[in-house]
Amino acid sequence: MQSNDLFERYRTLLVALKEIVKVSQDRVLSDDFDELFSENVNYFVKSYLISTCTYLEAYLQDLAFDLSQAICARINAACLPQNFLYWRTAKEIKEKELKFADVNWSLSKKEVADELSANPYRTIKLFKFLGVDLSREVGFRDNKDLVAAIVNKRNNIVHHNDVANDVSFSDVMSYIEIFITYMHAIKRAAYGADQ
């Protein structure tokens, strides 16, 4: 998939979510407030925060999978002997692993997803394996600690039933903008500034 198409798809989802969050906030703050939203603010805020992190994680998985597919295609197109690569990369050579064939590498989306989460430090690690230095992008460096805190908050909500009373609709809307900047920086690191 084209990196711009992928980024735009997830940016559009986040922008739409931001609009939903804004409408929800307006329903709570209006003179003719919406009882459902007013009585369940925390539930909606937590749901929107979880959705925001879900979109980020899905974007990262799709981008990493796209990169891994391109890398595998380049390796496979080179028609490299599997035994040569095995010899140069294995710590110990096992005779049963030797095959007289060209390498044919692939990764499933699950294999990529298992190595990645919205946590910036897991993201850094996997993208290093893909040959991408995320630290060279200012938008990544400047936002990774805040993204880590937001993702940790999401994890505490999902896994420990954190009430998250310290997060508001306005916070979620600002997090969405930060995530968009962060995702764009990752795209630039992966594909170059002109993508």
Whole-angstrom Cα distance, residue 100 to residue 97?
A: 10
Is 97 part of any domain? no
Residue 100 belongs to some domain of the structure: no
Q: Is residue 138 domain-resident? A: yes
Please check whether residue 83 lies inside any domain of the structure.
no
Residue 99 φ/ψ region, left for φ over 0, alpha for ψ in the -120 to 50 degree band, beta for the rest: beta
pLDDT below 50 — which residues of the chain? Answer: none
Q: Which domain holds residue 15?
A: 3-77+107-191
Question: How far apart (Å, rounded) are the C-alpha atoms in residues 133 and 136?
Answer: 6
Whether this model's pTM surpasses 0.85: yes
pLDDT score of 167: 95
Does any domain span residue 170?
Answer: yes
Q: What per-residue confidence (pLDDT) applies to 140?
A: 97
* 155 is a domain residue: yes
The tokens of 98 are what?
């030797």
Phi/psi region, residue 98 (left: phi>0; alpha: psi -120 to 50; beta: rest), is: beta
Domain membership of residue 92 (yes or no) is no
pLDDT, tens only, 4-56: 799 999 999 999 999 999 999 999 998 887 889 889 999 999 999 999 999 99
Q: Do the domain assignments include residue 164?
A: yes
What pLDDT does 63 receive? 97
Give the pLDDT of residue 169.
97
Total structural domains in the chain?
1
**Alpha-carbon torsion angle 35, 161, 125, 103, nearest 10:** -90
Tell me, what's the pLDDT at 150?
A: 97
